[in-house]
Chain A
């Protein structure tokens, strides 16, 4: 039976020196965009409904996460360093089910937006363009 897993306690970790290191103070994590690619197979003599077929390729995930920003934090500094000097880096998402389950994503492109607003703490939005399939 499918189990409802709560979001609370989910961890996004990045690889630093071969050790998965939790990114601190996250408020949300989003894994989106994985999609099998298709091409239009409609022909002039075809039926009214257009037809499509898979190309056999898959668009990989993008990971985005929002949290609070601390310019002195070592993990955040390590992530921001990847933007200017990108190196393929593995990221791991660990869910809070009983054993817990985790998935590894290969990060190839990185971005971060820092936001300052009167009614909120200083925030950071991470974006990670993934490559290949998660494992």
Chain B
């Protein structure tokens, strides 16, 4: 049973075994090194299934897909939900904007990071405001 991570995820190095994929390291602000699994890291067995169920991983073989027993849409919904949880996007309005591709999350100042549909959303918002002004 095999699954691949769909996003970078921090690793708990205290419980690593030879069954885990290799970790990478990044430095955080206070200089501490943080271990993480890169996107695409492969997990096997029950770990693979658990990570697919949280939305962190994508089944990478038939056995895992069968055990997960979800269709492609259900898996995609799980993954988008998890991405939002991982980015700390908890406000219902912000989750809608993320789902619609308007935002990608928050920047360091907690302003919105524009997503692929940001410009279209802003244009629609401006047009809507102009319409209201006309009334």
Q: Is the CB of B86 within 8 A of A17?
A: no
Q: Determine whether B60 belongs to the interface, using a CB cutoff of 8 Å to chain A.
A: no
- Chain B: how many interface residues by the 8 Å CB criterion? 38
Q: Which of B17-34 contact A (CB under 8 A)?
A: 17, 20, 27-30, 34
- A15 to B13 Cα, complex, angstroms: 10
Q: Is the CB of A20 within 8 A of B50?
A: no
The prevalent SS among residues of B at the interface is mixed
Q: Determine whether B97 belongs to the interface, using a CB cutoff of 8 Å to chain A.
A: no
Q: Is the CB of B14 within 8 A of A90?
A: yes
Residue in chain A with minimal CB distance to B43: A17
- A18 to B11 Cα, complex, angstroms: 6
Q: Determine whether A64 belongs to the interface, using a CB cutoff of 8 Å to chain B.
A: no
Q: Determine whether A82 belongs to the interface, using a CB cutoff of 8 Å to chain B.
A: no
- A96 to B56 Cα, complex, angstroms: 20
Q: Determine whether B1 belongs to the interface, using a CB cutoff of 8 Å to chain A.
A: no
Given contacts A99-B29, A100-B29, contact A20 B87 (CB under 8 A): no
What's the count of A-B pairs with C-beta under 8 Å? 97
Given contacts A13-B10, A27-B90, A101-B30, contact A18 B56 (CB under 8 A): no
Q: Determine whether A2 belongs to the interface, using a CB cutoff of 8 Å to chain B.
A: no
- A104 to B20 Cα, complex, angstroms: 20
- A135 to B37 Cα, complex, angstroms: 19
Q: Determine whether B121 belongs to the interface, using a CB cutoff of 8 Å to chain A.
A: no
- B residues within 8 A CB of A102? 10, 28, 34
- A24 to B79 Cα, complex, angstroms: 12
Query: Besides A8-B110, A21-B9, 19 other CB < 8 A contacts?
Result: A11-B87, A17-B51, A19-B43, A20-B10, A20-B11, A22-B86, A22-B88, A24-B81, A24-B82, A25-B85, A25-B90, A74-B53, A74-B54, A75-B54, A90-B12, A99-B28, A100-B29, A102-B28, A102-B34
Binding site for B on A (CB under 8 A): 6, 8-11, 13, 15-27, 74-75, 78, 90, 92, 94, 96-102, 104
